Amino acid sequence: MELILNILCALIPLIYLVIFVAKENRRKGKKHYIYGLVVAAVLFLILFVIRLIALTFISNESTPDNTTTTTTSTTTTVEPTKESTTTKKSNYERLTTPAGGETLGTTPKGYEVKKIDGLYYVDGYLIANKTYSLPKSYNPGKLKAEVETAANKMFADAQKEVNNNMWAQSGFRSYSTQESIYNRYVSRDGQKEADTYSARPGYSEHQSGLAFDVCATGKSCIDNGFDNTKEAKWLSENAYKYGFILRYPKGSDKVAQTGYMYESWHFRYVGEDLAEKLYNNGDWITMEEYFGLTSSYDEKPIGE
């Protein structure tokens, strides 16, 4: 779609200019080529603005056929800062793990599972997948401050190294927003297909305020056109340094573990310690595999 819009943006003013010049050449007397150039330039600017509006609308409201996408309806934009500072170890526990709660048991890999105010924590990390849901009332309202700070650093460094602007196009989404998005996908593709790329309401990581989808200037936004870009490669190789993990990695085994198709653009904050472990020298490990968790709507949380 972006290619078509680019072609139209250039082609229509050019066609106008050719027709104008042809008419001028048939006239007698003084020719007014400057007028034609001015009109063509104005036409180009108008079409360019329309192109920007159209691309923004497409990225926010549509999803590609047979691609992995969580959604882009609600946008939380994290603007990159001009300068990045030295990365410090993130205190993830201070961010999301309150005291108290009920201990439900341990995973097959020996990690403690707790339920605190309706939220599930495994070894102190908030879990949101197809087995472990979030309460309907849980609503941080936006990406958490620590997540935005880490994202700002990451995007600023990426801008320097990859020479392109990246941002969080889809961050926090409330239960009701996710419900609307999911129902739309079910109406379009059927529930079985929708479940491969979109979370049911109450099961989306976006509701946690810890995850977002990444877009880059001039690149496909939140679809598999982003997969092989230099930006996607940079994120896959460097996001862990800032405390983020590629939440839904590539590979049939990893898809089976997370319950979602590969998403090169979806990143989740876990702090640098765990992120480095899950990065696994480039062969990403899922949270499900690492902690010994299931992610299936047919499974119940440990201890329930």
> Is residue 267 helix, strand or coil?
strand
Q: Where are the domains of the chain?
A: 2-61, 136-291
C-alpha distances (whole Å) from 39 to each of 6, 138, 195 are 19, 54, 50
CATH architecture of the domain formed by 136-291: 2-Layer Sandwich (3.30)
Residue 13 confidence (pLDDT): 65
**C-alpha neighbours within 13 Å on the C-beta side of residue 120:** 28
Query: What residues contact 208, with CB distance under 8 A and at least 6 apart?
Result: 126, 128, 134, 138, 140
Considering only CA atoms, which of 91, 151, 147, 146 is closest in space to residue 124?
Answer: 91
pLDDT for the residue numbered 169: 83
Separation between Cα atoms, residue 205 and residue 61, nearest integer Å: 19
pLDDT at 60: 42
- The residue ranges of the chain whose pLDDT is under 50 are 2-3, 55-89
For residue 212, which of 124, 150, 275, 131 has the smallest C-alpha distance?
Answer: 150
Query: Residue for token digits 């299936």?
Result: 296
CA distance 149 to 111: 29
pTM above the 0.85 mark?
no
pLDDT at res. 198: 96
pLDDT at 51: 59
Residue 267 bridge partners (DSSP): 212, 246
What is the rounded CA–CA span in Å between residue 169 and residue 221? 8
